[in-house]
Amino acid sequence: MSDKLPDTPEGAKPINGTVKTILEWGPLIAFLVAYTKLKDSVFTIGATEYQGFIIVTALFIPVLLVATGLQWWLTKHLSKMQIVTVVMVVVFGGMSVWFNDERFFKIKPTLIYLILGSILAFGLTRGKSYLQSLMGDVMPLEPEGWMILTRRFVALFFGFAVLNEILWRGFSTDTWVWFKTFGFTGLIVVFMLSQAGVLSKYGIEEDGEEKDGA
């Protein structure tokens, strides 16, 4: 049996669970705390007024970069999703700060979900599950199971893209921030729990043998 932690991707160094959680959730928690304290503030920098949300966004970018850099330094590995997220935060967060327009940052999740959904959908048209390349190390499944799960993730990501658009366009910034942080996370947890049947039926044991009853 391998000494590698079950949730440690191939080629990555194991990392303390607490440290991993801090590095992954720390920047987001810091964003929420800063947003709560500064959301009603207005800052004048170089004769230009910036709302608290813009300032918090500007602070969030380097914090996320440092946390992600530390995670790479400790594990020598970053998931494709982490890389995509960091790039999108830097690009669209930077645009929000540069143009002093929070809409760029709010549309970022929509684009991330559309990109992920489109990539997975493209793989399906080729008879492949790109989701397997992202999650196969930590959640081994038979090929049929990956295809089923991929189709469902495509629907989930496109649904999230639509939901994010509804939220930031139709509701307050407060509502968007809190739902973006906890609502989407909760929906993903519920989604994964709802896939228990697929995971059970098509799951593969660590020794490479199919689970009994599959």
Res 2 pLDDT > 70: no
Res 8 pLDDT > 60: no
- 122-173 residue pLDDT tens: 999 999 998 887 776 667 788 899 999 999 999 999 999 999 999 999 999 9
Strands 48-51, 42-45: pairing is antiparallel
What are phi and psi for residue 48, nearest 5 degrees? -115, 135
Q: What is the average pLDDT across 77-87?
A: 83
- pLDDT for res 11: 58
- 108-122 residue pLDDT tens: 999 999 999 999 999
Res 106 pLDDT > 80: yes
Tokens of 176: 């968007």
- Cα(181)–Cα(204) distance, rounded to whole angstroms? 32
- 40-74 residue pLDDT tens: 898 888 888 999 999 999 999 999 999 999 999 98
- pLDDT for res 12: 65
Give me the chain's average pLDDT, please: 86
- Torsion angle in degrees (nearest 10) through CA of 56, 57, 60, 61: -150
